[in-house]
């Protein structure tokens, strides 16, 4: 796992100097060339806490946020008006006071000014597992998005409080599949397939539900109750193999692209992967199409990874002969097909680490990770496939001001923004996670997770 401890100060300073936040501010003031997807990215995220409900500026700003999504209360003024340096000092002081009582987790896509204070850096499941190494920590501060904090709560002890610094940090992809829509889909599938628990002569049920890690705890609970399983972008192929051993079909949610890219690489024909649109009867397919299906793909996507295009790859190749293009499997299928390799964030990191000095990479994933890799591996040329600076809208909602606030509240003996999963959801959700771990045993620290596609030979 790429679970990294807090970097040395020099490295952190170098990264902060090259951070996405800084780049955005320079672009917005006209001090640097380039383009952002929204001028509002230069504002503090608290500007949006009290505004109209939405994901805020960034990649998901055009997505519809579900009614009832968590709202963040107004961040106290002293955090909103503090300078970067003041917030940095306050965070360091609070962490020093709390010592082993707190562990701070930072997702790969988080801004550098927050990552600088993380005890562990990685993807969502790696971080939830990293928290297991700190059973004595009373508080787990998850600098990521809502479903990640839920997963950490599922895996932590009841005595530990999992804290999300900004409650508005959801995930637009996870929000595209809500429990009631999936329950309704399940009922409609039962009307087509009959009893969903009935096994055929080969011992397989009609359909197995598979949810991506990037989903609510409620959906993990749903698949746990219905014989299903969770997958990550690293183990999706292994999980689909597990599901095909037990079911004639798979219902895959919420990310259509991860499902399609993985199943296609396994040889499933595209015509046997109908899309399920929750706003249409039978998801928009006929009963015959659903009967013939191997993988039913939920109509969900990541607005960060949907920004990458085949034209961007062509441009990168034209401008950088010899460039290796590596993209995340949440990208659309034509982009994955045109790339040299596709794999999880950890796969991307490991591919760069293993490359000979002087390599050039065009990376199709969230800009904060790409910029950080470019700063940390100066022996390579690394750039984001998308020339427009457009971070994940919801990761962006975690700012050092919120981190300072939750930590100083802990120092004062108060737990704010706690994320708790109720037992009736947590128990089946853990079953679904345990099935995943049994399908592919936990990876000990160090190794590379299996990519969806093999890396380019020279990577």
CB of 37 closer than 8 Å to CB of 60: no
Sole binder of ligand SF4 in the list 21, 119, 346, 366 (CB under 6 A)? 366
Cα–Cα nearest to 211, from 201, 202, 196, 221 = 221
Count the residues of the shown chain that bind ligand SF4, applying the rule CB under 6 A: 14
Judged by CB under 6 A, does residue 145 bind ligand SF4? yes
Give the residue with the Cβ less far from ligand SF4, 145 or 217: 145
Give the residue with the Cβ less far from ligand SF4, 60 or 226: 60
Site for ligand SF4 in 279-308 (CB under 6 A): 302-304
Residue 392 annotated in ligand binding: yes
Residue 171 annotated in ligand binding: yes
Minimum CB separation of residue 171 from ligand SF4 in Å reads 3
Minimum CB separation of residue 386 from ligand SF4 in Å reads 13
Give the residue with the Cβ less far from ligand SF4, 223 or 355: 223
The two structure tokens encoding residue 327: 């993209």
Judged by CB under 6 A, does residue 346 bind ligand SF4? no
Site for ligand SF4 in 427-456 (CB under 6 A): none
Minimum CB separation of residue 362 from ligand SF4 in Å reads 18
Residue 329 annotated in ligand binding: yes
Judged by CB under 6 A, does residue 230 bind ligand SF4? no
Judged by CB under 6 A, does residue 160 bind ligand SF4? no
Residue 212 annotated in ligand binding: yes
Residue 302 annotated in ligand binding: yes
Minimum CB separation of residue 390 from ligand SF4 in Å reads 11
Residue 193 annotated in ligand binding: no
Judged by CB under 6 A, does residue 392 bind ligand SF4? yes
Minimum CB separation of residue 342 from ligand SF4 in Å reads 15
Judged by CB under 6 A, does residue 173 bind ligand SF4? yes
Minimum CB separation of residue 216 from ligand SF4 in Å reads 12
Minimum CB separation of residue 367 from ligand SF4 in Å reads 10
Sole binder of ligand SF4 in the list 20, 155, 163, 171 (CB under 6 A)? 171
Give the integer Cα–Cα distance in Å for 350 and 457.
Answer: 14
Judged by CB under 6 A, does residue 394 bind ligand SF4? yes
Minimum CB separation of residue 24 from ligand SF4 in Å reads 17
CB of 100 closer than 8 Å to CB of 205: no
Binding site residue list: 107, 124, 171, 212-214, 233, 302, 328-330, 345, 392
Binding site residue list for iminosuccinate: 107, 124, 212-214, 233, 328-330, 345
Footprint on this chain of ligand SF4 (rule: CB under 6 A): 60, 109, 145, 171-173, 214, 302-304, 366, 392, 394-395
């Amino acid at each position: 796992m790429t679970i990294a401890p807090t970097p040395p100060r020099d490295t952190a300073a170098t990264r902060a100097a090259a951070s996405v936040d800084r780049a955005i501010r320079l672009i917005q003031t006209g001090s640097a060339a380039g383009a952002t997807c929204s001028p509002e990215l230069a504002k503090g995220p608290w500007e949006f806490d009290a505004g109209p409900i939405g994901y805020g500026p960034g990649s998901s700003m055009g997505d519809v946020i579900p009614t009832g999504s968590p709202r963040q209360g107004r961040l106290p003024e002293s955090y909103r008006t503090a300078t970067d340096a003041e917030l940095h000092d306050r965070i360091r002081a609070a962490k020093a006071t709390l010592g082993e009582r707190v562990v701070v987790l930072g997702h790969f896509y988080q801004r550098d000014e927050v990552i600088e204070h993380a005890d562990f850096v990685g993807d969502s499941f790696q971080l939830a597992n990293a928290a297991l190494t700190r059973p004595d920590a009373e508080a787990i501060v998850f600098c990521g998005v809502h479903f990640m904090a839920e997963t950490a709560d599922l895996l932590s002890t009841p005595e530990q409080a999992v804290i999300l610094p900004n409650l508005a940090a959801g995930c637009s992809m996870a929000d595209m599949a809500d429990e009631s829509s999936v329950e309704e889909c399940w009922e409609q599938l039962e009307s087509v397939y009959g009893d969903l628990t009935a096994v055929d002569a080969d011992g397989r049920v009609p359909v197995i539900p598979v949810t991506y890690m990037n989903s609510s705890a409620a959906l993990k609970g749903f698949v746990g109750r219905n014989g299903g399983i969770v997958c990550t972008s690293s183990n999706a192929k292994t999980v689909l193999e597990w599901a095909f051993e037990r079911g004639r079909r798979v219902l895959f949610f919420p990310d259509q692209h991860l499902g399609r890219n993985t199943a296609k690489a396994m040889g499933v024909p595209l015509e046997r992967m109908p899309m399920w649109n929750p706003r249409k009867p039978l998801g928009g397919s006929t009963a015959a199409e659903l009967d013939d299906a191997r993988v039913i793909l939920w109509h969900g996507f990541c607005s960060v990874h949907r920004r990458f295009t085949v034209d961007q790859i062509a441009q990168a190749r034209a401008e950088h002969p010899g460039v290796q293009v590596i993209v995340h499997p949440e990208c659309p299928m034509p982009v994955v097909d045109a790339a040299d390799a596709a794999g999880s964030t950890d796969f991307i990191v490991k591919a760069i680490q293993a490359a000979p000095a002087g390599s050039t990479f065009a990376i199709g994933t969230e800009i904060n990770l790409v910029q950080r890799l470019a700063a940390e591996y100066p022996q390579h040329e690394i750039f984001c496939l998308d020339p427009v600076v457009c971070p994940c809208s919801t990761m962006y909602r975690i700012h050092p001001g919120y981190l300072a606030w939750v930590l100083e509240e802990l120092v004062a003996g108060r737990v704010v923004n706690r994320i708790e999963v109720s037992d009736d959801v947590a128990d089946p959700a853990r079953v679904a996670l345990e099935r995943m771990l049994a399908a592919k045993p936990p990876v000990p620290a160090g190794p590379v997770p299996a990519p969806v596609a093999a890396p380019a030979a020279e990577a």
